[in-house]
Amino acid sequence: MKRLLDPLFLGYGLAWWLIHSFRWAGAPIPFLNSYLTDFVFVPLVAHVALRIIRVFVVQNETYRIPCSYLVFMALYTSVVFEGLMPAIAKTYTRDAGDVLAYFAGAFFYYGIHQPRWDSAYREP
């Protein structure tokens, strides 16, 4: 459990929860409401996926999610939430900033979180 709940992962979850709490209360925080939840979405999903892959699929604690997989996650998320959903539900809107946030989150996870997480939890 310690390996799943690192400080960055907890920060993503806390940020997502706070932004949505303010949104549900009718007091959205302007810039953060628009892009922070989109930025943390791919890292949240990727971190859980990495833990599942390491424990149940490859049984290798040194496995890292390749950049191409993270780019695919961001692309898939962009197509679904910025392409398909606005076409079928009026509550969704297309926003290029959201797409940039998904990709920024993917690259952040690849370049910063994943290496930091690996070094912090490396077995002696």
pTM (predicted TM-score): 0.86
For residue 124, the SS3 value is: coil
Do the domain assignments include residue 86? yes
Q: Tell which residue, 56, 54, 18, has the closest CA to residue 36.
A: 18
Model confidence pLDDT, tens digit, residues 87-102 = 999 988 999 999 999 9
Q: Can you tell me the distance from the alpha carbon of 14 to that of 76, in angstroms, rounded to the nearest whole number?
A: 24
- Is 12 within 8 Å of 40 (Cβ atoms)? yes
Which pLDDT value is given to residue 3?
66
The stretch 74-82 carries a mean pLDDT of 97
Do the domain assignments include residue 2? no
- Is 13 within 8 Å of 47 (Cβ atoms)? no
Q: How many domains in the chain?
A: 1
Range of the domain at 80: 7-120
